[in-house]
Amino acid sequence: MPLDEALLKVRGIAKSYGTVVALRSADLTVRPGESHALLGANGAGKSTLVKIITGVLHRDAGSITMAGEPVELRSPADGYAKGIATVFQDPAMVPDLTIEQNLKLTGTDTAAVTRRLVEFGIGELSLAERTRDVPLPFLRMLDLARALTHRPRLLVLDEITAALPADLATTVFDVMARHISGGGSVLFISHRLEEVVRHCSMCTVFRDGGDVASFPPRAGGEQRIVQSMLGETVGQMAEETVGARRGPVERTDRPPRLVVENLRAGPLRDVSFSVRPGEVLGVTGLEGQGQDMLFEVLAGAQRAREGRVVVDGEEISPRHPATAIRHGLALVPSDRSVALLPQRSIRENIALSSRARPSRWGPISMKKENRAVSHAVERLSIDTRAASQARRLSGGNQQKLTIGRWLAEGFTTLLLFDPTRGIDIGTKRQIYTLVRELADNGAAVVLYTSELREIELVCDRAVVLYHGEIVAELPADAGEEAILSAAHGFVGEPEEAR
């Protein structure tokens, strides 16, 4: 292979999930011996591209070649044969099996994995452990060990360092350096620019489903990277929504709507916070820090071992979703299919929450219901062309519908769990505006988000969960760096952390 020949050449890749366009047209070229960073804001399409070049997903359009040969992968195993191995963003193991069973499922040489773990300095990790009991950083290192056993020419790492403490991140960089010096290539995805500048010789920036720039990243050139990542559209969006956030008067004098005290449940060790009416409290953290449990307890789907939940001064112990609803706590999960009756109409779905209220059992007033529904549809600008069945709506419109149900009901406290996951950017923006409007009308909102940007766009302040504890409380404009450090358990070092 001539030296200037590309190892991986991706041209014009397009991919949609239903109505969500994840990739419009993406190009990427990785050369032999190159450590290549793939950059872009959350939702830019990086992971989708990774899944396409590794054979997990099928592309709608475009071409892929490895060392000049066209590749058509049907599975990650096909990828191994072509010299591509990947650590995916989400750990790829079945939680209820042991590590060993998981490795065998994918035909991995377990002895080779064990040797790698020793090399990584985590030889104490036993393959007999049940996967769900293994801490996330170890799972990421296991995924890396597994990928390396396939001796790939191209090693793809999708946000591997996001869940790693500094020493294991260093191990990853050592692995990358060795892989490169052996003539291999790395495609490296990370939000931490200092890692990219130090360890990558080239970068490609994605924005809104396409590549917008490609250049060698250099120390001091971070601004250029950020500029191309954000582009104008997002900058404008930030201005508009942040404007909405800063507009309303301070409400510090109002008593809290929701107070959570010393909550212990599942992985939650001792969680306390409060939210006032008119306030959007952001909750964030890496995956698996107890956020699911927190929302389930508040919504009455799980019981706490200890602690108090107080709503408008009254202690409630939500044991059942109906208790939470009666006290005005409404949960909007990120998985719309759980929240909606997919076969039913939009009207029925919006009306559902009022019928769930025991005090309203009895004859349903169709007229009143219709009015509430029309109002909600209008407020949310739900595209009703598919009105007869909720399942025909796009993900974004489904999400607006779930929120609409509670709007029709007149709830007081909204629990939003990653509400914009899998939603296109235009609809995301409508949801941000809607959330701010609801708060301005007196709702107290607790919003968990996996997209750090949403903290600044929508929230008034944020708490960060780490290992089941709130390790930091930050102003909404603290910046992604400060939030990310806290999410990794590094608190109190940079001044901006307070």
Ligand X SMILES: Nc1ncnc2c1ncn2[C@@H]1O[C@H](COP(=O)(O)OP(=O)(O)O)[C@@H](O)[C@H]1O
Question: What are the residues binding ligand X (CB under 6 A)?
Answer: 17, 20, 22, 40, 42-48, 422-424
Q: How far is the CB of 206 from ligand X (least distance, A)?
A: 6
Closest CA to 412 of 283, 250, 279: 279
Q: How far is the CB of 49 from ligand X (least distance, A)?
A: 7
Q: How far is the CB of 38 from ligand X (least distance, A)?
A: 8
- In terms of phi and psi (left: phi > 0; alpha: psi -120 to 50; beta: otherwise), the region of 299 is alpha
Q: How far is the CB of 44 from ligand X (least distance, A)?
A: 4
Structure tokens at 284: 């964030």
Residue 17 touches which of Mg ion, ligand X, none (Cβ within 5-8 Å per kind): ligand X
Q: Which residues lie below 8 Å from residue 33, measured CB to CB, with a gap of 6+?
A: 180, 183, 184, 185
| Residue with smaller CB distance to Mg ion, 46 or 453 | 46
| Residue with smaller CB distance to ligand X, 42 or 227 | 42
| Residue with smaller CB distance to ligand X, 43 or 152 | 43
Q: How far is the CB of 407 from Mg ion (least distance, A)?
A: 31
| Residue with smaller CB distance to ligand X, 46 or 347 | 46
| Residue with smaller CB distance to ligand X, 113 or 193 | 193
Label the pairing between strands 306-311 and 280-284: unpaired
CA 434, CA 457: separation in Å to the nearest integer?
12
Cβ(88)–Cβ(155) below 8 Å: no
Q: How far is the CB of 204 from ligand X (least distance, A)?
A: 12
**H/E run at residue 329:** strand 329-332
| Residue with smaller CB distance to ligand X, 47 or 108 | 47
Q: How far is the CB of 156 from ligand X (least distance, A)?
A: 12
**Nearest residue to Mg ion, using CB?**
47
CA 416, CA 449: separation in Å to the nearest integer?
8
Residue 48 touches which of ligand X, Mg ion, none (Cβ within 5-8 Å per kind): ligand X
Residue 45 touches which of Mg ion, ligand X, none (Cβ within 5-8 Å per kind): ligand X
DSSP state of 493: S
Neighbours of 157 (CB within 10 A): 27
CA 329, CA 326: separation in Å to the nearest integer?
7
| Residue with smaller CB distance to ligand X, 273 or 448 | 448
User: Buried b / exposed e across 318-349, counting CB within 10 Å, b at 16+?
Assistant: beebeebbbbbbbbbbbebeebbeeeebbbeb
Return residues touching Mg ion (CB under 5 A).
Answer: 46-47, 89
